[in-house]
C-alpha cells in the first residue's frame, strides 16, 4: 500500500481556510507566521477574515494556498514523523507544484511564499485586463480539445491549459479566440464550454512575460534535491534533478498542466492512496475521475489530521 501527496492549485481558496489548523497546532501557526514574515504583511488575516475578493486576487491566492498546504504538511510531519508519512511521490496542480517542492525540501517556505507572490503578480500583469480568457470544456477529451483550440486560434493564442481529468479540459488564450472556441465547441463533440472567472489567461503563450520573470527569480535560488520525487506538471513523470526542476517551473507558466497523466502515472506505478494536502477537495474529486480504483482523501483540517492517523494505525504504521 503506497501513497502520494498532492497539493491543490488556484480555485481551492476560501475565507477561513487553514484557521482550524492554526488554532489547534503550534507548528501550523509557525508556517502561517513564516509566510507573513516573508511577504512583510499579514496574509493570514486576509485568509481568515477576507474579504473574499482580496483573497481571490492571484498574487494573494497563490501564496495563501501554499501556506495552508504546508501548514497541514507540517502538522502531519510533527504528529506522525517523517518516516511514517513519507510518500513515494508528491505532485501539485499549477501553483501547488511549489507547495509540493517546498514540502520535500527543494526550497523553503519563505522562498516558496516570495516566489508565488511574484508568480501571481507576474501572471496578472502579463496580459492587460480583459484581453485574455479561459474556457472549461465539459465532456471533452484531450484530442478534440486540442483540435478545437487550434481551429479557434485564427492567428491568435489558443491552447490547452489544463488536462485535469476525463471530461474536464481547460483552454486558454485571447478573449476573441475563446469566444470563437465557445461557439465552435459543439462541432467537436464538446457538451459545454464554460467561461472561467479568472483574472488572466493562465498556462498559455500569453504568459511568456511572466515566465521570463520567474526564470530570473528561480535562477537566484539554490534549489535542493527533493527528498521524494516530484511528478511535474510539464512532464507528468517524476523529476529529482534541481536544474531540471528549475527549468520546468519556468516552462510550467506557459505550458499545459498535465494533471490527468500525472495522477495516472502515480497510480500506474503502485500508488493506492492519494492524499490532497491543503484547502478544499478539488484534486480528490479529480483523482476519483482519473482512476476510480484509487483511494483519494483530503487533509486540510484538524479532523483530517486525526483521520490520517487512524489510517496509519490501520496500516500498522501509526
Which long-range contacts link 210-214 to residues 24+ away (Cβ below 8 Å)? 210/119, 210/122, 210/123, 210/125, 210/126, 210/253, 211/250, 211/251, 211/253, 211/254, 213/118, 213/122, 214/115, 214/118, 214/119, 214/122, 214/249, 214/250, 214/253
Q: Are the C-beta atoms of 134 and 229 separated by less than 8 Å?
A: no
Q: Which of 151, 126, 129, 149 is nearest to 209 (CA)?
A: 126
Q: Return the C-alpha cell found at 37.
A: 514574515
Q: Is 199 a catalytic residue?
A: no
Burial 248-274 (b: 16+ CB within 10 A, else e): bbbbbbbbbbbbbbbbbbbbeeebebb
Question: Alpha carbon of 106 to those of 119, 129, 186, 256: distances in Å?
Answer: 17, 33, 44, 22
Q: Which of 69, 94, 199, 298 is catalytic?
A: 94
Contacts of 130 (CB under 8 A, 6+ apart): 175
Q: Is 237 a catalytic residue?
A: no
Farthest-apart Cα atoms in the chain, separation: 58
Q: Which of 44, 203, 262, 298 is catalytic?
A: 203
Give φ, ψ of 129 to 5 degrees: -50, 130
Residues assigned a catalytic role: 94, 203
Amino acid at each position: 500500500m503506497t501513497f502520494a501527496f498532492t497539493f491543490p492549485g488556484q480555485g481551492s481558496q476560501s475565507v477561513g481556510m487553514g484557521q482550524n489548523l492554526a488554532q489547534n497546532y503550534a507548528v501550523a501557526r509557525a508556517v502561517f507566521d513564516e509566510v507573513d514574515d516573508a511577504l512583510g504583511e499579514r496574509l493570514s488575516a486576509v485568509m481568515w477574515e477576507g474579504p473574499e475578493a482580496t483573497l481571490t486576487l492571484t498574487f494573494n491566492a497563490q501564496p495563501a494556498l501554499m501556506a495552508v498546504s504546508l501548514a497541514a504538511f507540517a502538522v502531519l510531519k510533527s504528529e506522525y514523523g517523517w518516516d511514517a508519512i513519507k510518500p513515494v511521490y508528491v505532485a501539485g496542480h499549477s501553483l501547488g507544484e511549489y507547495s509540493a517542492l517546498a514540502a520535500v525540501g527543494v526550497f523553503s517556505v519563505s522562498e516558496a511564499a516570495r516566489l508565488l507572490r511574484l508568480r501571481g503578480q507576474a501572471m496578472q500583469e502579463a496580459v492587460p485586463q480583459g484581453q485574455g480568457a479561459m474556457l472549461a470544456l465539459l465532456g471533452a477529451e484531450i484530442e478534440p480539445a486540442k483540435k478545437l483550440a487550434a481551429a479557434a486560434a485564427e492567428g491568435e493564442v489558443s491552447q490547452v491549459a489544463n488536462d485535469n481529468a476525463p471530461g474536464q479540459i481547460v483552454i486558454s488564450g485571447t478573449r476573441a479566440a475563446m469566444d470563437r472556441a465557445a461557439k465552435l465547441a459543439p462541432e467537436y463533440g464538446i457538451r459545454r464550454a464554460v467561461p472561467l472567472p479568472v483574472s488572466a489567461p493562465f498556462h498559455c503563450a500569453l504568459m511568456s512575460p511572466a515566465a521570463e520573470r520567474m526564470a530570473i527569480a528561480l535562477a537566484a535560488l539554490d534549489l535542493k534535491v527533493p527528498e521524494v520525487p516530484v511528478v511535474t506538471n510539464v512532464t507528468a513523470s517524476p523529476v529529482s534533478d534541481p536544474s531540471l526542476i528549475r527549468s520546468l517551473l519556468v516552462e510550467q507558466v506557459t505550458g499545459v498542466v498535465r494533471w490527468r497523466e500525472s495522477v495516472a502515472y502515480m497510480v500506474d506505478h503502485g500508488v493506492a492512496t492519494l492524499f490532497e494536502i491543503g484547502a478544499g477537495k478539488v484534486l480528490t474529486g479529480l483523482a476519483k475521475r482519473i482512476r476510480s480504483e484509487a483511494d483519494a482523501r483530503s487533509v486540510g483540517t484538524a479532523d483530517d489530521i486525526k483521520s490520517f492517523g487512524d489510517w496509519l494505525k490501520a496500516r500498522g504504521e501509526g
